[in-house]
Amino acid sequence: MIEFGYSIQSNRQIDFDRNTRQVYKYIRRKEPSIDWCMSCGTCASGCTAGYASDFSLRRMILLARRGEEKEIRDGIFRCRLCGKCLNACPRGVNTRNIIYWMQQAVKNTQTL
């Protein structure tokens, strides 16, 4: 095998027949303001958990929209629900509520 100095990335296409987006649909029912999110990232810019780890609510919402639930499970509990993002959001999205319901969703998949 030859090392060319670059690598082949795995295919990251999202198959919506497989990714059912259950978490997103569940949160929408509980907190409809998730639909107002425009992925600007203001919530993530002032996030304490994001300062100490790679947590980003913007990324979490994006993953939920894409139905990438394994990644949500790996990251969502880094948030301590301090609510600073709530003050930062320019669209008035109830961000803390979204995180809370996201945590509930992945904790108890039967409720989805």
Residues lying near another protein in the complex (CB under 8 A) are found at: 1-2, 4-11, 13
Tokens of 89: 């959001």
Least CB distance to another protein at residue 95 (A): 32
- Closest among 13, 16, 15, 12 to 25, alpha carbons compared: 16
Shortest approach of another protein to residue 62 CB, angstroms? 20
Q: Which two tokens stand for residue 54?
A: 């790679």
CA dist 97 to 12, 30, 31, 68, 109, Å?
29, 9, 7, 20, 18
Q: Which is nearer to another protein, 10 or 108 (CB)?
A: 10
Nearer to another protein, 6 or 51 (CB): 6
Measured from the CB of residue 6, what is the shortest distance to another protein in angstroms?
A: 4
Task: Provide, rounded to whole angstroms, the least separation between the CB of residue 15 and another protein.
Answer: 11
Strands (E), 19-101: none
Choice between 4 and 51, CB closer to another protein: 4
Cβ-Cβ contacts under 8 Å for 43 (sequence gap 6 or more): 57, 58, 85, 88, 89, 93, 95
